[in-house]
Structure formats: C-alpha cells, structure tokens
Amino acid sequence: MQVIIADSAQEVARLGADQLSALMRTRPGAVLGLATGNTPIALYDELIRRYRDGQLSFAQARSFNLDEYVGLAPGHRQSYRHFMNQHLFNHIDIPLAQTWVPDGLGDPETVGEAYEALIDAAGGIDLQVLGIGRNGHIGFNEPSSSLGSRTRIKTLAPQTLADNSRFFSPDEFQPSLAITMGIGTILRSRKALLLATGESKADAVQAMIEGPVTASCPASALQLHPCALVIVDSAAGARL
Ligand code: GLP
C-alpha cells in the first residue's frame, strides 16, 4: 500500500485526478470504479475542469459505481445514480449508457450476481476510486463484512445512517439497506485509489493502514491489494 499525505483536500483531489488522467491517456477505454460521498466531489470537479480544458476525454470509458440505496429508483434525488449524474456524468463526455450503478430496485436474489457479471463482461475494473467511512467502511461494506464478499445487499450500520442523515431532510425516507460491491470485488480491481480528507477520518485511516487486516475495519483489506494508493490530507493522516 502506497500512502501520500497531501497538504490540503484540494491537493488530494489534484493528485487523485492525476491518477485518473494518466490512466485515461494510456487507456482511453478504461473501466473506472467510482464512489459517492463528499470526498470524491472535489476529485470530480477537477476531472470536469480538465475535461473542459481539453486535457481529458471519457468518451470511450466505462464506469461502475460501488453502491446504491435499496428501494430508490435511479431518478430519485437521493439515489447514487442521481448523485453521479449531477456531480460528474452530466458534465463530461461519457455516454450514460457506458455508466453503471447497482440497481436499487433489482431483485435482491440476483441483483448482485448480475452486477458482477457486468463488471466481468467489461474486463474488470482498471481503477477503483474509494472513500472511507468513519467506521472504516468502503463502499457500503460495514464492519464484519466478509473480506471475500461480492456485490450484495447490506444493512447499514447505525453510525453510517447517522453520518449520511445530513443528506436527507427530516421528513424524508432514508434507506437502511444498500447494494454494494463486496470487499472481494474491490480487491479484484487492478488499482485501488482511496481518498480521505478531514480529521473525522483520522482514526479510520490509521486503522486501515497501521492496524491488522480485519473485517472490523473493512478498508484494512486494502493491505492485501497488490496496487493500492491512499491519498489523504494532513488532517486525515494526523494519526499515522
Ligand atoms: C458512503 C459511501 C462510501 C463513502 C462514505 C464516506 O457511506 N457509501 O462509498 O466512502 O460514505 O463518505 P464521505 O466522503 O461523505 O465522508
């Protein structure tokens, strides 16, 4: 695992964008694994800026998102499909037909396997972007998730529900289930790029990098990844 401690959240976004830019230049048809949450928004803004400057094209890229809320239709304003359209896809040249987000309305029995089959058919993920939850989750793989897990439905942990409640208004339905790529799915990506910013992530970042590999901290599984790059700002890296 390679770790970079950057000076600021902006620098984290720039360095992360450098990774994606280098991949897109050498492999225009790359398969990207993408994430939601606050952290990657600055990365996506930087990618949009580089696309508008003519430095980057995503016309041939394909993308697979990590996760989606169960029960939310793609058009729902709280869905992760909506998030991705708003924060990235609507602003770059990737055709929406080349982007996939797990189906929040899919049959729970088959939806995970179907998503894995789509990833396999695309040739696997070249670069998986990740954030990290305060409890060490990646995607929606909460603590105690199997390290070999594949895409399936998970119940969200109380802390995750509380952390993500800021995105929902008080009278709005907040799903407590999500469909998420598994830790095993993430470990199969050819490169993993985890970004973390802010002091609220410092404990999780320390556990991920310096702690044991354990299902109690799902992100620690990245220690087993053959090519994992972690980029944090000084606040998130404060306990390293
Ligand atoms: C959600 C997402 C994760 C993300 C995490 C942290 O739970 N499923 O993929 O990493 O939130 O989000 P944030 O970047 O907003 O702290």
Q: For residue 24, what pLDDT is reported?
A: 97
Q: Which tens digits make up the pLDDT trace of 167-213?
A: 899 899 999 999 999 999 999 999 999 999 999 999 999 999 999 99
99 CB within 6 A, ligand 1:
no
Name the packing angle between helices 39-52 and 9-26 (round to 10°). Answer: 50
Within a domain: 221: yes
16 CB within 6 A, ligand 1:
no
Name the residue with the closest Cα to ligand 1, atom 10.
Answer: 131
Q: For residue 93, what pLDDT is reported?
A: 98
Contact 180, 139 (CB under 8 A): yes
CATH of the domain at 125: 3.40.50.1360
36 CB within 6 A, ligand 1:
yes
**Which tokens in the block code for residue 22?**
């280098």
Within a domain: 240: no
Ranges in the chain, pLDDT < 50: none
Q: For residue 45, what pLDDT is reported?
A: 98
In angstroms, the CA 27 to CA 31 distance is 9
Within a domain: 238: no
Name the residue with the closest Cα to ligand 1, atom 9.
Answer: 139
Domain count, the chain: 1
DSSP letter assigned to residue 144: T
- CA of residue 36 to ligand 1 center, whole Å: 6
Q: For residue 183, what pLDDT is reported?
A: 98
Determine the atom of ligand 1 nearest the C-alpha atom of 140.
Answer: 8
Within a domain: 15: yes
Beta-carbon neighbour count of residue 57 at 10 Å? Answer: 15
Q: Which domain holds residue 215?
A: 2-233
Q: Is residue 142 flagged as an active site residue? A: yes
Within a domain: 239: no
Within a domain: 211: yes
Helices (H) and strands (E) in the chain — how many of each?
A: 7, 10
Within a domain: 6: yes
Q: For residue 83, what pLDDT is reported?
A: 97
Q: State which of 12, 39, 65 you would mutate to test the pocket of ligand 1, scoring each by most atoms of that ligand within 8 A of its C-beta.
A: 39
Q: Does the interface predicted TM-score (ipTM) exceed 0.85?
A: yes
- CA of residue 121 to ligand 1 center, whole Å: 27
Residues pairing with 138 in the sheet:
141
The amino acid at 47: L
Determine the atom of ligand 1 nearest the C-alpha atom of 180.
Answer: 8
140 CB within 6 A, ligand 1:
yes
- CA of residue 131 to ligand 1 center, whole Å: 6
Backbone Cα Rg of the chain: 16
Within a domain: 145: yes
Evaluate if pTM is beyond 0.90.
yes
